[in-house]
Structure 1
């Protein structure tokens, strides 16, 4: 409750939560408001927003309803962000916790592996994984998670390095607690707050990476995602710019929502940021 009250004192956190709830509501109401297949032909191609009352946001260059595509695309984008962040944070927590808790040669080995991943830009590595394993939605989502684990790993490692010699850890070790219960029960819960905050950043980055892939025509063409809509509008960007601008605005709002929620979580979970 204390953390919730601290979050509600953050204007950025409240704005982010409202925006995120709006995006989630759009995803949940997609079937009710737009029961048709979002990939199906809905009307004459390239109708501008407002030209047809039945299609309030117009149609793209394939004649698909942009409004329906937008609502159904919210599901895909949120799913990509959620699953990719779980994969990235899960790997990062595992590697960072082991490296920070044990130190020594274990830390050196795992950090060299981490640095090897960091030498290659995330998007370049993502392109390689998609080229090798395919562009299905599941492959893209896992690949985004695999290229994003290094930052959470270093964050968790730094937290474990600062916590492993604290009094409560030494006391638990003195009582005979084994390493695994000590890591999971004592150290990890105290290291999680900054990781939870960073998870919102990972979600935003995941949505942007999928959109970048789709813009290059490398995403799964059989799904209704915001990135695919932007990619479809690439060929008519100079004349019917709204085809790409509308999903681009949706991505902007969603990324902004995650960023503001992360700022609110930081205000709530970081004791140095809380108002006494």
Structure 2
């Protein structure tokens, strides 16, 4: 007698596998980290970054270590020696103290103008590039208006009407120099706003200002920093040129003012012009070389033969 086996119940798999979610494109942080490492390893960075840091530290803390830059307690036109490392000037003032205080003014002008230009450029260029439309049109017209303003003529007029003041010079230089940075920010914001991770943020319902602040601006910073470093050198050169022709704060002489005062003593006091001129040359050279190194690190394909 055959024993009849009861068939086992068939259990159907009622749960279907969930569809694989599409990965959200990631922000390009790894590429930027590699570019920063490449920048820090470049020979020009290893040479000029410590040099620039040295000038900044001397300008920041040097006035606490040197003497009074306006005290006329020494013989006139002493050459550099062990007692006076940079000699004395035509009025018997210690020239090391004057160069250190002058460097504080020159570097403060350069970095203040660069920070203001970067701030204006990020706000105006970021809004124009991200939103586009009428906002872009208005922002571009505003940038074009400030771009055509002659900075040197404005500085001359301001000095005649308001007097020579470092704050006025910084404001004029920033007003006339920020459109260059703003155009770069605008172009980068337009490019980044079309990328996948920004589109994902929009689809998730994030506000435009939040996306602009957290995603667009940080990823647009590398070319902006390159342009900002160039702005530092340009601002120092322009301020030195203005001070050389007499448009400067006489109470706070910069390296350009020291060059102006040394014109009549080129034969008897050669160090009076050589030392501040060398400082201007080294600082501008260091800033420009660091800007070139940043550009090469973040844009490695530029200049290659295809």
Normalization by structure 1: what TM-score?
Answer: 0.88
User: Structure 1 stretches of 5 or more lacking a match?
Assistant: none
- Counterpart of 2:40 in structure 1 is 8
Distance 2:299 2:233 in 1: 21
The 1:159–1:129 alpha-carbon spacing in structure 2 relative to 1, beyond 3 Å, is: farther
The 1:251–1:165 alpha-carbon spacing in structure 2 relative to 1, beyond 3 Å, is: same
- Counterpart of 1:75 in structure 2 is 104
After superposition, what is the alpha-carbon deviation per residue over 1:204-236, rounded to whole angstroms, capped at 9, x for unaligned?
111112111111111001114212211211333
Matched, 1:113 2:145: no
- Counterpart of 1:46 in structure 2 is 77
Q: What does residue range 1-276 of structure 1 map to in structure 2 within 5 Å?
A: 2-34=34-66, 36-50=67-81, 53-237=82-266, 240-270=269-299, 272=301
Instruction: Give the drift of 1:267.
Output: 3.5
Does the Cα contact within 8 Å between 2:151 and 2:172 map onto a contact in 1? no
Aligned residues: 270
Distance 1:253 1:39 in 2: 25
Worse-superposed segment, 59-68 or 13-22: 59-68
Give the match's secondary structure for 1:148. Answer: helix
Distance 1:62 1:104 in 2: 61
Worse-superposed segment, 87-96 or 74-83: 74-83
The 1:158–1:131 alpha-carbon spacing in structure 2 relative to 1, beyond 3 Å, is: farther
* Higher share of residues assigned helix: 1
- Counterpart of 2:10 in structure 1 is none
Does the Cα contact within 8 Å between 2:110 and 2:233 map onto a contact in 1? yes
Instruction: Give the drift of 1:63.
Output: 2.5
Does the Cα contact within 8 Å between 2:124 and 2:139 map onto a contact in 1? yes
Instruction: Give the drift of 1:244.
Output: 1.9
After superposition, what is the alpha-carbon deviation per residue over 1:93-151, rounded to whole angstroms, capped at 9, x for unaligned?
11111111122222222212222222233323333344444322222223222221010
Worse-superposed segment, 82-91 or 117-126: 117-126
Instruction: Give the drift of 1:21.
Output: 2.1
| Higher RCO by CA contacts (8 Å cutoff, separation 6 or greater) | 1
Give the match's secondary structure for 1:120. Answer: coil
Distance 1:104 1:32 in 2: 53
Give the match's secondary structure for 2:143. Answer: helix
User: Structure 2 stretches of 5 or more lacking a match?
Assistant: 1-32
Moved over 6 A (4+): none
